[in-house]
């Protein structure tokens, strides 16, 4: 029964010790473990099954509007998912092509098998990263470090076989596995994903520690056999040619453009609505009150909220060799035989065979307002959370949090300041700030509309925003990537300077590039950069008429494209700059994390105090985004920032208390640690 699986090293005598332990091998866990290891931490990834690392449990696609932005940022921090997708996609398509480069959505249909294969290869070949198969039932805890909020700190984990692993930081990325419950029709059974066990012991531990936990639901559609679908009458969607890679390091994707697979569009009919409405009594998932996502609703909720309409169904391939089709848009939880009726009422699917029925999942998530912007919990020091456990949905959202948690778990162990991405720097910053400041009541998904500085935070410039910081502050970026980013930055700066210095009169320009409708009342000469701003202009055109010095700029394709985008957005980015500065100033004003909002001596209403206590904003910036907080409250709290700042200045003279001293900690606090963990580990070992 206490069988230890692949990769296990020493026996029970000396408990192994790692700087960072990551629990869960999903999209958040894989990125977290890899990021921590890249940063230089000896890292252990614990997962139920090594074979499920890189599993895409729901849709066979990556990216999309907003999500593609996140992937670019993950890639800029040297994360994995972008480059793995460049090696495993079967249909690459940039969404929103005609709406402007700031909102382009890089997206691809991915071959599930290839993705898993490449992801596992990455993970298993990452230096400093060890992977073990084990379930985690409990946490090892000890007394908190002074000068940090939190009632205890984590020092390791207890595995399903009762053995322990010591850790400097622990990252929890258990997705929907915390008290996961699968629902099909009236049947329910515990599972994190169809065929995988839920994590119950860990859920109880978190509850005992006092973490506020909520419940969310999501769902997945039935999977169909490709050879039973009649595609002949359906609308086709072809992939991009050439495909646009996700990673800044990829020159091109692996697949030949012409070898890419097609997607197909069909629509539900009123027959589906009829079946659903007649059988609501057989559908537990839909009747329950748990909050599901509004933007990725089940077919049942679409039919109920928007009746008498056709609903789109995209038929997406699951892989090059796969016979599985993923019908996006019809996630449902009806009993299996009724699902078949619904599917067969859809044009093209009249004879479709269901390979696996759709199902709903309900799961615990942790209120992310209990986390700091580095994703460390306030309650338990050195315990980080990332991914769906924080109330998000989507592979990309999970991966983004994973990278940040991994980086910070590593920095924490090494006694370095946390790596925070601001709302003004990236979608990752918006995602984490929204979660940790406002919490969420439904699975949180990234949208471009959530981002205040959308014009500045574009997919094309994620490297310029994050790669330098990732290299210099987090140490999670390879030398090669850093050098590429430095080179690109220099080339952009030079290119813009060259374009700006190249000036002609308007009439000269009109003569040179008659296709560009230059309209300017200015008498001054116009620079090539100004001309490039026009939708009709591009570097190729300019290089043709002014080959010297523009020729060589136009030859470097990526550079030429980025120069064009920089020109188009220059005014807007400049306009936003001042606002960005204001947000940054407010974000620089930090509120103490352990502030007792009920005790502080300031004129705040009880209502405001309660809001502050539950949201625990970390900065004045975050504070000002909480709905219902008055300017008066902001001013009052600024006072505390100020005193705190002064205190911190005085403390600077003292030595850093933030260092990781494992030996000392373990020897002095071992007794207490055992006491704390004994209590909560009584109910462990139900599984494995």
Partner 1 sequence: GDTIFAVSSGHGRCGVAVIRTSGPGSRGALQSLTGRPALPPPRVLALRRIRDPATGEPLDRGLVVWFQGPQSFTGEDCAELHVHGGPAVVSGVLRALGALPGLRPAEPGEFTRRAFRRGKLDLTAAEGLGDLIRAETEAQRRQALRQMEGELGRLYQHWSDALTQALAHLEAYIDFSEDDNVEEEVLSQGEGWQGKGAGAGTPHPCSSQRDSWSLPAVDATVRALEREIGSHLQDGRRGELLRGGVRAVIAGPPNVGKSSLLNLLCQRPAAIVSPVAGTTRDVVEVALNVGGYPLVLSDTAGLRDATDPVEQEGVSRARDRLQEADLVLAVLDATAVPTEPVGLGAALGSLQPPPTTPCIMVLNKADLLKGKGGSLRAACTQGPPLPPVTLLSCKTGEGLDHLLALLARELARLCGDPLSGSPSLTQSRHSLHLRQCAVALARYGRERRSDLGLAAERLRLARRHLGSITGHVSTEDVLDIIFRDFCVGK
Q: How many residues bind partner 1 (CB under 8 A)?
A: 54
**Stretch of 111-119, 479-487, 503-511, 634-642 contacting partner 1, by CB under 8 A:** 634-642
Measured torsion, CA atoms of residues 201, 203, 207, 209, in degrees rounded to the nearest 10: 70
Closest CB to partner 1 among residues 42, 564: 564
H, E, C per residue of 547-601: HHHHHHHHHCHHHHHHHHHHHHHHHHHHHHHHHHHHHHHHHHCECCCCCCCCCCC
- CA angle, 498 as apex, 494 and 500 as ends, to 5°? 115
| Separation CA 242–CA 109 (nearest Å) | 15
Q: According to CB under 8 A, which residues from 102 to 131 bind partner 1? A: 102-103, 105
- For partner 1, give the closer residue by CB, 140 or 432: 432
Q: Do 109 and 502 meet the contact criterion of CB atoms below 8 Å apart?
A: no
Q: Are 361 and 178 in contact (CB under 8 A)?
A: no
Q: E strand or H helix at 207, and its extent? A: helix 201-208
Tell me the angle at which helices 27-38 and 395-413 cross, rounded to the nearest 10 degrees: 30
**581: contact with partner 1 by CB under 8 A:** yes
Nearest in space to 32 (alpha carbons), one of 429, 403, 411: 403
- Binding to partner 1 by CB under 8 A, coded x per residue (else -) over 639-658, reads x--xx---------------
600: contact with partner 1 by CB under 8 A: no
| Dihedral pair phi/psi, residue 569, rounded to 5° | -100, 0
134 is a site residue for partner 1 (CB under 8 A): no
Part in contact with partner 1 (CB under 8 A); list of ranges 294-302, 374-382, 400-408, 546-554: 294-302
Among residues 47, 370, 392, 448, the one that binds partner 1 under rule CB under 8 A = 448
Q: Does 578 bind partner 1 (CB under 8 A)?
A: yes
Secondary structure, 3-state, 324-375: EEEEECCCCCCCHHHHHHHHHCCCCCCCCCEEECCEEEEEEEECHHHECCCC
Q: Least distance in Å: CB of 674 to partner 1?
A: 46
Options 231, 447, 660, 666; binder of partner 1; rule CB under 8 A = 447
| Distance in angstroms (rounded) separating the CA atoms of residues 420 and 410 | 13
Q: Does 429 bind partner 1 (CB under 8 A)?
A: no
Dihedral of CA atoms 109, 112, 118, 123 in degrees, nearest 10, equals 110
**Residue 538 burial (CB count, 10 A):** 17
From the list 75-83, 197-205, 369-377, 441-449, the region that binds partner 1 by CB under 8 A is 441-449
Q: How far is the CB of 100 from partner 1 (least distance, A)?
A: 3
Does 254 engage in binding with partner 1 (CB under 8 A)?
Answer: no
Instruction: Annotate each residue in 601-630 with x if it binds partner 1 (CB under 8 A) or - if it does not, as one string.
Output: -xx---------------------x-x--x
Contacting partner 1 within 64-103 (CB under 8 A): 64-66, 95-96, 98-103
User: In this structure, what DSSP letter does residue 221 have?
Assistant: P
Q: Are 411 and 474 in contact (CB under 8 A)?
A: yes
Give residues 302-341 in contact with partner 1 (rule: CB under 8 A).
302, 305-306, 309, 311-312, 314, 328-329
Quote the least distance from Cβ 637 to partner 1, whole Å: 10
User: Nearer to partner 1 by C-beta: 472 or 536?
Assistant: 536
Give the residues lining the site for partner 1 (CB under 8 A). Answer: 59, 64-66, 95-96, 98-103, 105, 294-297, 302, 305-306, 309, 311-312, 314, 328-329, 438, 447-450, 454-455, 535, 568-569, 572, 578, 581, 585, 602-603, 625, 627, 630-632, 634-636, 638-639, 642-643
């Amino acid at each position: 029964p206490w069988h230890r699986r692949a990769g296990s090293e020493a026996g029970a005598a000396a408990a192994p010790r790692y700087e960072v332990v990551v629990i869960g091998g999903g999209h958040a866990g894989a990125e977290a473990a890899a990021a921590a290891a890249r940063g230089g931490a000896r890292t252990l990834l614990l997962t139920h099954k090594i074979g499920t690392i890189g599993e895409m449990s729901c849709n066979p696609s990556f990216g999309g509007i907003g999500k593609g932005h996140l992937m670019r940022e993950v890639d800029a921090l040297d994360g994995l998912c972008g480059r793995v997708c460049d090696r495993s996609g079967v249909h690459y398509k940039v969404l929103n092509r005609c709406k402007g480069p700031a909102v382009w959505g890089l997206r691809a249909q991915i071959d599930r098998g290839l993705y898993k294969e490449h992801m596992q290869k990455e993970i298993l070949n990452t230096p400093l990263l060890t992977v073990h198969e084990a379930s985690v039932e409990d946490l090892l805890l000890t007394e908190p470090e002074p000068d940090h909020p939190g009632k205890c700190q984590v020092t390791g984990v207890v595995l399903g076989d009762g053995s322990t692993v010591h850790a400097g930081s622990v990252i929890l990325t258990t997705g929907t596995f915390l008290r996961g419950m699968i629902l099909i029709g009236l049947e329910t059974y515990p599972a994190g994903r169809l065929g995988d066990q839920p994590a119950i012991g860990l859920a109880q531990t978190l509850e005992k520690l006092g973490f506020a936990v909520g419940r969310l639901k999501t769902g997945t559609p039935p999977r169909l056999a490709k050879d039973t679908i009649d595609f002949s009458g359906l609308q086709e969607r072809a992939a991009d040619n050439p495909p646009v890679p996700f990673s800044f390091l990829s020159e091109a994707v692996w697949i030949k453009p012409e070898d890419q697979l097609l997607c197909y569009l069909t629509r539900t009919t009123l027959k589906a609505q009829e079946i659903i409405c007649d059988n609501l009594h057989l559908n537990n998932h839909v009747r329950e009150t748990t909050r599901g996502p509004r933007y990725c609703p089940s077919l049942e909720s679409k039919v109920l909220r928007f009746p008498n309409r056709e609903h789109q169904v995209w038929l997406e391939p699951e892989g090059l060799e796969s016979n599985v089709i993923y019908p996006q848009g019809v996630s449902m939880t009806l009993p299996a035989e009724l699902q078949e009726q619904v599917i067969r009422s859809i044009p093209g699917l009249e004879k479709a065979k269901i390979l696996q029925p759709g199902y709903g999942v309900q799961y615990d998530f942790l209120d992310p307002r209990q986390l700091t912007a580095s994703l460390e919990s306030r309650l338990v020091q050195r315990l980080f959370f990332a991914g769906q456990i924080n109330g998000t949905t989507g592979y990309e959202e999970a991966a983004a949090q994973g990278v940040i948690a991994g980086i910070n778990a590593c920095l924490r162990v090494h006694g370095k300041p946390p790596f925070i991405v601001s709302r003004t720097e990236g979608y990752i910053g918006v995602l984490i700030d929204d979660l940790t400041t406002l919490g969420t009541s439904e699975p949180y998904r990234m949208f471009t509309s959530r981002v205040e500085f959308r014009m500045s935070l574009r997919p094309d410039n994620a490297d310029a925003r994050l790669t330098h910081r990732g290299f210099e502050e987090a140490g999670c970026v390879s030398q090669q990537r850093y050098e590429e980013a430095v080179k690109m930055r220099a080339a952009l700066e030079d290119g813009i300077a060259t374009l700006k210095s190249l000036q002609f009169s308007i009439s000269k320009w009109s003569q040179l590039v008659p296709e560009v409708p230059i309209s300017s009342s200015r008498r001054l000469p116009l620079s090539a950069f100004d001309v490039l701003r026009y939708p009709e202009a591009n570097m190729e055109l300019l290089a043709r008429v002014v080959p010297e010095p523009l020729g060589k700029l136009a030859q470097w394709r990526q550079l030429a494209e980025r120069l064009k985008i920089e020109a188009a957005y220059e005014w807007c980015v400049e306009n936003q700059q001042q606002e960005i500065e204001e947000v940054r100033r407010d974000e620089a004003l930090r509120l103490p994390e352990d502030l007792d909002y009920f005790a502080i001596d300031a004129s705040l209403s009880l209502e405001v105090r309660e809001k502050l206590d539950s949201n625990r904003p970390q900065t004045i910036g975050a504070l000002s985004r909480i709905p219902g907080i008055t300017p008066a409250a902001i001013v009052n709290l600024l006072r505390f920032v100020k005193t705190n700042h002064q205190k911190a200045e005085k403390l600077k003279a003292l030595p850093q208390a933030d260092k990781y001293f494992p030996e000392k900690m373990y020897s002095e606090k071992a007794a207490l640690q055992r006491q704390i963990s004994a209590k909560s580990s009584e109910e462990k070992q139900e599984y494995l």
